[in-house]
Each structure stands twice: as structure tokens, then as C-alpha cells.
Homo-oligomer: A and B are copies of this chain.
Amino acid sequence: MDDENARLAGLLAQLRGRGERITAARRVVLDEIVRAGELHLTTEELAERVHSRDPSIHRSTVYRTLDFLETCGLIDHIHLAHRPPTHHLRDDRHLHAVCERCERTMDLPADLLDELAGTLARDHAFTMRVGHFAFSGRCQDCLSV
């Protein structure tokens, strides 16, 4: 996908613009996150993909790189149900709901939380970071079980 290559190039440009170094690890990790798209990959899953592309990149480097990219504001992590956190580009703005029984994840429009975010800000002086946690509950199929 040319689209993905362009996206990667843009992200690397952001790093360069901030005066950060571009290393093999950062390039490959970012690339895998771009390629993963709407998949929700955990750190271990990303590490595995990264490692299969470049076996010299150590798992601990992937952990450090993800921290770094998040600090730089390029990516975010999100908690889906009871598995380790997953990572995605920060500009992917949508919400998630996970069925606590079948573990199926569904994507939801980000504006569902707009009103609640407003209420929290107005009445409780709390600025919500939308989307950091998934909603937990039951999908239709699992409701009666």
C-alpha cells in the first residue's frame, strides 16, 4: 500500500522534526503499527512481527520504543478487556466495546462520548481521555448466556 508508506514517511518526518533519532527499531515498529491498521496488537504481538522482520531487534527494545512513540504523541495504547494493552496510531479516533464472554471487539464512533466528556468537564472538572478503555459488556449473541 502506497498509502501506508506515505503514512509511515509522515510519522518519521514528525520524529525528525522533533529532533529525535530515526533508528531501525523505530522505523520497523512504526511500520508494523501502520500496517496493523484496525487490528489490535499487543506489545508481544508487535514484538513478534518486528522480530520476524528484523531478528536483531530485541523484545525489550520494542517495549522501550512503544513508550517512546507514545511520549512523542505518535501512538496511544488502549485496554481491551483482560488482555495486555494494544497499540494504535494516535489519530485513529474510535471507541471499542468488548464482549466479556466471547471477547469479540466492536468498533464504535468516537462521538458517542462527546456528551459525557462535556458533562465530566463541566460538572466534575475532569478532562476525559476518550477511548483509553474499551467498554465492557455483552454482545447480542452472548446476552442470554
Contact = CB atoms under 8 A, between A and B. Distances in A.
Interface of A: 79, 97, 99-100, 106, 108, 112-113, 115-116, 119-120, 124-129, 132-140, 143
A124 B108 contact: yes
18 contacts: A79-B79, A79-B133, A97-B128, A99-B126, A106-B124, A112-B116, A112-B119, A115-B116, A125-B139, A125-B140, A126-B139, A127-B143, A128-B135, A128-B136, A132-B136, A133-B133, A133-B135, A133-B136
Contacts of A99: 126
A14 B120 CA distance: 37
Contacts of A140: 125-126
A36 B140 CA distance: 35
Contacts of A128: 97, 135-137
